[in-house]
Amino acid sequence: MDLREQAQRESGELRKDLLAFRWARDRIQHRIMESEGTSRFQDLVEWSGTSAVTGSLDLAIHAMERTLEEFVSVIRRLDEEETDGKQG
């Protein structure tokens, strides 16, 4: 397997991870909004663990997005080198 194939595979796996993390964050945020106005001992949004979890997910999502951009850039560069090599 060459470098381009490896980068494409890793990019595909990273996209799956990114979707899963986004889904988890969105689901937690949805649950927070859903629980607002209910009678609870402590509101979900005020619970310290909720902010920590959503904050961690946001950081991980941001890092994955940057990494994915880097993989796309590498793949594009490898494609250009391959095209230039065939023309020259």
Q: What is the mean pLDDT of residues 45-53?
A: 75
- Res 48: pLDDT: 64
Q: What is the dihedral of CA 26, 56, 17, 32, to 10 degrees?
A: -20
Query: 22, exposed or middle or buried, with CB in 10 Å at 0-12, 13-18, 19+?
Result: middle
pLDDT at 58: 95
Residues 6+ apart with CB under 8 A from 67: 14
pLDDT (0 to 100) of residue 63: 97
Nearest by Cα to 22 from 69, 54, 47: 54
Give me the domain span that covers residue 15. 3-87
State the total domains in the chain: 1
